[in-house]
Amino acid sequence: DYYNMFTSIFTLTTMSVDRYIAVCHPVRALDFRTPRNAKIVNICNWILSSAIGLPVMFMATTKTERGSTDCALLFPHPSWYWDNLLKICVFIFAFIMPVLIITVCYGMMILRLKSVRMLSGSKEKDRNLRRITRMVPVVVAVFIVCWTPIHIYVIIKALINIPASLFQTVTWHVCIALGYTNSCLNPILYAL
């Protein structure tokens, strides 16, 4: 799940940076936004996601208790420290930083488009600005709505001992499904 989560989030974040460069720095974008550079950035996203997911893959194990087998992470000693460090790093690098980068990039893009609109007075540019101005908050809101529950769940579970129950299991799976839902909704949102 870490691998999929980071790949998806890093791709969304780099797309927002790419759009920011295209809109706010169109002259520089001609040199920077090439198919070769796009491949390099995508490869870097995959390598970074792999590097982050690799330690988790090596720590993955299964635990069998009372006839039930569960997946778990086997952390080095002291396990509570490494477990909490992982949760904090995931929260920062898979949620806080991407939300900040995406919000700043799209915010700067809207400001730039509004200033260009004032200069041009074009109805077509007004229409494009309205479309982008509607799309940007929706993209950011959907990202936050889809990814916030799993991060809140992980933080609460780190702070409070939540006994295993059907409700806890269903909540966990709903939170995971919401993260995947973001990946499903993005093609639709970006096509609008």
Q: What is the CATH number of the domain that holds 37?
A: 1.20.1070.10
The C-alpha angle with vertex 100 and arms to 1 and 125, in degrees rounded to 5, equals 110
- Quick one: which H or E segment has residue 73? strand 68-73
Q: What is the number of domains present in the chain?
A: 1
Domain that holds residue 167: 2-191
Phi-psi region of 66 (alpha: psi -120 to 50; beta: other; left: phi over 0): left
pLDDT tens column, 138-161: 888 998 999 999 999 998 988 888
pLDDT tens column, 110-140: 888 777 765 556 677 667 667 777 777 888 8
Phi, psi of 93 (to 5 degrees): -85, -20
CA distances from 147 to 99, 120, 166, 191 (A): 10, 38, 22, 21
Q: pTM for the complete prediction?
A: 0.81
* Residue 120 burial (10 A CB sphere; 0-12, 13-18, 19+): exposed
